Structure 1
Amino acid sequence: MITVANRIYVNPEFAAQFEERFQNRARQVDSMPGFIRNLVLRPAKPGDPYVVLTFWESQEAFRAWTESDAFKQGHARSGTLPKEAFTGPNQLEVHEIITDSQQG
């Protein structure tokens, strides 16, 4: 299993709009083979990034998502926030899960 963390730096003036975008997301990813879970984490400290964290069965499943029409449709909505809503570039991180307290 892997996680994909997308760290997104959001201008505080646009935080409510950013959060609403995820609360009303297209949900295209939810039915993708290999998709497990999606979490959106709000920063506790101003200036830190939001983290969009997804869990996948494998890197291949994640790659298939990024190459799918559903990905393009789901991300077409990302243009709804202006450029000034973001204070820096996104940072994408992929990690393999080696231990999980929920699985014993």
Structure 2
Amino acid sequence: MFVSINHLGVPDGRENEISSRFDQVKGHLEKAGGFLRFRLLRPQSEGAKWLVYTEWETAADYDSWKNSPLFGRMHPHHGSPHDAPISASAEVVTYDVVTDCAP
């Protein structure tokens, strides 16, 4: 299993906007090959970063999605103000799952 976590700095006042936009993303991610799970994590501490957590069967599945037209449509970063990035900063960190425990 492969995990990607995007650390987003969300400006004050745009919290509802980021939640709404990521709600729209869920249906698109489900179409990606090897996709397992998506979570948007809101920080409990003021000033902390939001986390966009995705799980994939393999790193190759994640890379295929990142290079797909679907990814491009989900991350326009240009055009109308609605399509502009919400976050003030973003850092993606990827992981291989070494140990996992679930009920």
**TM above 0.5:** yes
For structure 1, list consecutive stretches of 5 or more residues without a partner in the other structure: none
The alpha-carbon deviation at position 77 of structure 1 amounts to 7.2
**Aligned-residue RMSD, C-alpha:** 2.2
TM-score, L = length of structure 2: 0.86
Distance 2:102 2:73 in 1: 33
Structure 1 runs, 4 residues or longer, greater than 6 Å off: none
Tell me: CA distance 1:31–1:94, structure 2 relative to 1, closer, same or farther (3 Å).
same
C-alpha distance in structure 2 between counterparts of 1:52 and 1:7, whole Å: 7
- Displacement of 1:35: 0.5
TM-score calculated relative to the size of structure 1? 0.85
CA 1:82–1:28: 2 relative to 1, 3 Å: closer
Figure out how many residues of one structure are paired with residues of the other and give that number.
101
Which residue is equivalent to 1:46? 46
Indicate conservation of the 8 Å contact 1:18/1:81, yes or no: no
Q: Give the letter aligned to residue 91 of structure 2.
A: Q
Gaps of 5+ in 2: none
**Equivalent position amino acid for 1:10 in 2:** V
- Work out the percentage of aligned pairs sharing the same amino acid: 22
Superposed, 1:75-86 pairs within 5 Å as: 75-76=75-76, 80=82, 85-86=86-87
SS in 2 for 1:3: strand
